[in-house]
Amino acid sequence: MANYFSLLLVILTLVTGFIWLIDSLFFAKKRKARWASGGANANGEPTAEPHKPYVVDTAQQIFPIIAFVLVLRSFLYEPFQIPSGSMMPTLLVGDFILVEKYAYGFKDPVTRYKFLDTGKPERGDVAVFKYPENKNLDYIKRIVGLPGDTVIYRNKQLFIKPYCQATAKECAPIAPVELTYVGSGEFVQNMAPLQRFTESLGKVSHDILRHPVFDQPPSTFYAQPGTQIDEWIVPQGHYFVLGDNRDNSRDSRFWGFVSDDNLVGKAVAIWISFEFERQPDSWLPAWVPTGVRFSRVGGID
């Protein structure tokens, strides 16, 4: 849907701009010339300037608005809605976020060709990207593995060995990502209270959730040739992503890596957050909010 909307914005901008340009260069001059040679009416008063054609008038009014939205949405910031709980507790269902489109480079809104590189993803970024198995879908996950990194997810513990071009003795060994237990009970899945931990990824500290019993079977993981079943070496130009709700997220563990070409931008803020919790016998449609979580408005860790 987002791809179609971007294409529609581009088409509307081009069509309305073209109509305005053609009218300004040719037809507007002819209308003014006919009006200037029309003289005065029977009372000696100058005749009124003729009205612009409806199509031209409409194009001139909506072109600046559409062009502004196109530039804002394609190159600066784009709003997204969080539809699932795979990024809890960082992002909840009903959060509406802003994604910084220029964080990882300026891209053409239709072909997604990057024509200007403005930065690279950093470990710990919350990023929106095109789902590798269906480019019409937008996914949001946390970047944990950078190009060249070795990533292991074993017994609910994340291990990372940063990419190193030096000799093996000078490279840092693979090490577990630091976890600090926070508590449990705030979030529940399948009637079990989820455990909350603070995870440190480089300069970024954020909270994750783990199910106390359920564990993803390694046999379901994406198998990368030449590595163990729960180990991945991130290719150049690609990234390894995970959901913060580790036992309720379909991410790089299951379908592989995210290429730089598929990156949309960096999630930077929650601009509004709605609640949709209601009783089963409620007469309200499911899409109608039941409240606003003002406390969630702000930056994203």
Annotated catalytic residues are 86, 141
Residue 29: exposed, middle, or buried by beta-carbon count in 10 A (0-12, 13-18, 19+)? exposed
Give me the residue label for tokens 């480079």: 105
CB distance 138 to 130 below 8 Å? yes
Of 121, 85, 82, 84, nearest in space to 100 by CA:
121
Which token pair is 60? 């001139």
Virtual torsion, Cα 144, 145, 149, 154, nearest 10 deg: 60
Classify the phi-psi angles of 192: left when phi > 0, otherwise alpha if psi is within -120 to 50, otherwise beta: beta
**Across 82-234, where does the E strand assignment appear?**
95-100, 106-107, 114-116, 126-130, 138-145, 150-154, 157-161, 175-176, 179-189, 192-201, 204-210, 231-233
